[in-house]
Structure 1
């Protein structure tokens, strides 16, 4: 035989369903509310790539000879801070006008090296060759080495760590 549900059982069942639906609706509201707040309030973000950073001094740059400088750039995204190491070849022919070149090959992103006796940058990954000003001489690179904007004040060299792509 089938047992009849008592009044107290149906009240408990109704109470349970009401509370369960309330919890589900509140959870959905909290998810959408948190998303709306995250959209309206921007996360902390600091990108040092648009700030001038010290690179080195003009005293260490030999005339006509690319000189490698290294710098660290701090990037903050949300609540996470990372450090990116940047390497820049700096060259001047007259001691007044300086150019900054990336050490990253434009083919597949390998690091290039300055070969002094050949007066060329060489990429060991696929034999890409660049001249002393970063222009492609031979190999697979599609365009010259990227450039960095430099500012020289006195003997100090500063740079913007966001490279400028060169057209091939």
Structure 2
């Protein structure tokens, strides 16, 4: 059963997204929520590109940017580096467990993005090596106690990679 307020919220959200799409110069996509997964609407081609749209049911299709273009692997390095940089002003002062786990997760995501980059892992030798050294030291133990024990190495790896990437702006801009 759908409440009237839920229907209104969905309608307001759809209107806001349509207005945003128009202001960005893109054509809004048809409302797929009403048709549900696996229907003709979800399998339709994009009005702007003619290519099939990525859906949750099709993991082989790369996620698309808001303008409908597929995300490239190089953008994954940029995005992963940006989320790592977002930790630069954080510390263990507030929520140490969250902070250390986040830095570890961001480093692992950046490592995976660098290894999958079209330029090849050889393009990022120092960051990949530093993350490998960190992972060897952690020995698969990502418990708070072990991350706290190796906090200096974890944060040092993040800072090293930040400095290295700043010297290679073509890799993240």
Which has the larger share of strand? 1
**Rg larger for:** 1
Alignment TM-score, normalising by the size of structure 1: 0.23
Which has the larger share of helix? 2
Alignment TM-score, normalising by the size of structure 2: 0.23
